[in-house]
Chains A and B, each alone.
Chain A
Amino acid sequence: MNYRHLLPEEFDLLLDDEVGFGVAPLREHARECAQCRAQLKSARVVVAALEELPRFAPSFTLADRVMAQVPVFVPWHVAARDTVVRYVPRSRPARLAAAGLAAAGGATLTGATLWLAARGDLVAFATNIAGNHLRDAAAQAGRDGMVALFGPQVVTTLQQGGLTGLALIAGGFLLAAAASAFGLRAIASSARRRS
């Protein structure tokens, strides 16, 4: 019977614990042949050492450093859901209490809205009165301010000029403001050119 030692790739099959067709005779030969058995044993020592190699740990800041440089695009609906989930209590009693409070608050708001809707005319009347008061107060404050700044004659002139007079004064003010702005800009530009 021809007798040969195991080929290199056959050693690899045994080292990798292959169980396919044709491996059994190789295993049998390794049991019977002292030279191949010794070679296989020293190869297994190497493989065992490799498989016992530890995994090293990087510094604990690696994840933070990576995340600082990776933009995470969160869709709006995911962000909204995450925000809501963040405020939901974790324990069941707390969730029940929060749900109860939310229901009570919602019922109160709904009741108030319905009450207001049923009394719409009352609301409109109250809003109108409040609006008139506010307008009168603002107008009085404006008059008082003009009198304090320019004297009572200016207020009289404005009242006599009406809306047309008011529009002319406002237009004149805007023109003067624009002219001042252009003038200041021109002065600043010429100052820069000279320097």
Chain B
Amino acid sequence: MPPALDLANLPDADVVALAQRGRDAAYRELIRRYERPVFSLVFRMVRDRELAEDLSQDTFIKVLQHIDRYRPEFKFSSWLFKIANNVAIDHLRRRQLDTVSMDGSPHAMTSDAVEATSFDISSRDESALDRMEARELGSAIETAIAQLRPEYRACILLRHVEDKSYEEIAATLDLPLGTVKTYIHRARHELRGLLEHLKQ
């Protein structure tokens, strides 16, 4: 009798194929592999743990309910992050007033312009939960990331946290390659300025 299938050592495409054949364990393996990356991305996009849990749950539900639509010529992680990003961006758009208040004018090209057109979120009254979340995301780099535009934030997180190539990010976010390079360049530039500002 051969040993039970070791899903942890199978590539994504094989696990997805098993999930498409109705293997409950394969569904759980996909969640186990990507719950942290998806949650981290969404949490940094929306900066609310409870909300990030709900949005991550929605992401996985959407992906697994439509697992039969997955095409193996594309990376599963790219498809998953695309849906996660869309879910987060859709939420931020519905909360557009808060988004503008955090990120400043979308036409701002420099960190000074961003600062001039954004509201200071630290002046809100913070609950104990907000303070805990702020501690979790309270390092200078996290604070700086929160002040980026959502499009820049998604690109820079996929590039440096998820180690995606420019081409993969372009495929994930449905953006031209040149736009991805521009967004990442601007994000790095703005983060440098924000970090120097925060140091002062």
Interface set of A (CB-CB < 8 Å, partner B): 8-9, 12, 15, 42-43, 45-47, 49-51, 53-59, 62-63, 65-67, 69-75, 78, 85, 88, 95
The answer to whether B161 touches A50, judged by C-beta atoms less than 8 angstroms apart, is yes
* Cβ of A66 to closest chain B Cβ, rounded Å: 4
Q: B156 to chain A: which residues have CB within 8 Å?
A: 50
* Cβ of B134 to closest chain A Cβ, rounded Å: 14
Of all chain B residues, the one with the shortest Cβ separation from A59 is B53
Asked if B56 CB lies within 8 Å of chain A CBs, one says yes
The answer to whether A74 touches B35, judged by C-beta atoms less than 8 angstroms apart, is no
Contact of A55 among B24, B40, B61 (CB under 8 A): B40
A57-B36, A75-B21 given as contacts; is B27 within 8 A of A67 (CB)? Answer: yes
Q: A59 to chain B: which residues have CB within 8 Å?
A: 53
Q: Can you name 24 A-B residue pairings with CB atoms under 8 Å?
A: A9-B181, A12-B185, A12-B188, A43-B192, A46-B141, A46-B191, A49-B140, A50-B159, A55-B40, A55-B161, A56-B39, A56-B136, A57-B35, A58-B36, A58-B39, A59-B53, A66-B60, A67-B24, A72-B24, A73-B22, A74-B22, A78-B21, A78-B23, A85-B4
Q: A78 to chain B: which residues have CB within 8 Å?
A: 21-23
The answer to whether B36 touches A46, judged by C-beta atoms less than 8 angstroms apart, is no
* Cβ of A120 to closest chain B Cβ, rounded Å: 40
Asked if B195 CB lies within 8 Å of chain A CBs, one says yes
Extra contacts besides A57-B39, A62-B56 (14): CB < 8 Å:
A12-B184, A12-B185, A46-B141, A46-B191, A50-B159, A50-B160, A53-B142, A56-B43, A57-B35, A62-B35, A62-B60, A65-B57, A70-B61, A75-B22
Of all chain A residues, the one with the shortest Cβ separation from B26 is A72
User: Interface size for chain B: under 10, 10 to 19, 20 to 34, or 35 or more residues?
Assistant: 35 or more
Contact of A8 among B4, B39, B65, B185 (CB under 8 A): B185
Q: A53 to chain B: which residues have CB within 8 Å?
A: 40, 141-142, 157, 160-161
Asked if B71 CB lies within 8 Å of chain A CBs, one says no
Q: Mark B124-157, 1 if CB is under 8 A from A, else 0.
A: 0000000000001000111000000000000011
* Cβ of B40 to closest chain A Cβ, rounded Å: 4
Of all chain A residues, the one with the shortest Cβ separation from B165 is A16
* Cβ of A22 to closest chain B Cβ, rounded Å: 16
Q: B32 to chain A: which residues have CB within 8 Å?
A: 63
The answer to whether B64 touches A70, judged by C-beta atoms less than 8 angstroms apart, is yes
A74 and B26 alpha carbons, distance in the complex (Å): 12
Q: A63 to chain B: which residues have CB within 8 Å?
A: 28, 31-32, 35
A53 and B61 alpha carbons, distance in the complex (Å): 26
The answer to whether A43 touches B188, judged by C-beta atoms less than 8 angstroms apart, is yes
Contact of A49 among B28, B52, B141, B181 (CB under 8 A): B141
**Which 9 pairs across A and B sit closest by C-beta, in order of nearness?**
A50-B160, A74-B22, A58-B39, A49-B141, A55-B36, A66-B60, A70-B64, A55-B40, A63-B31
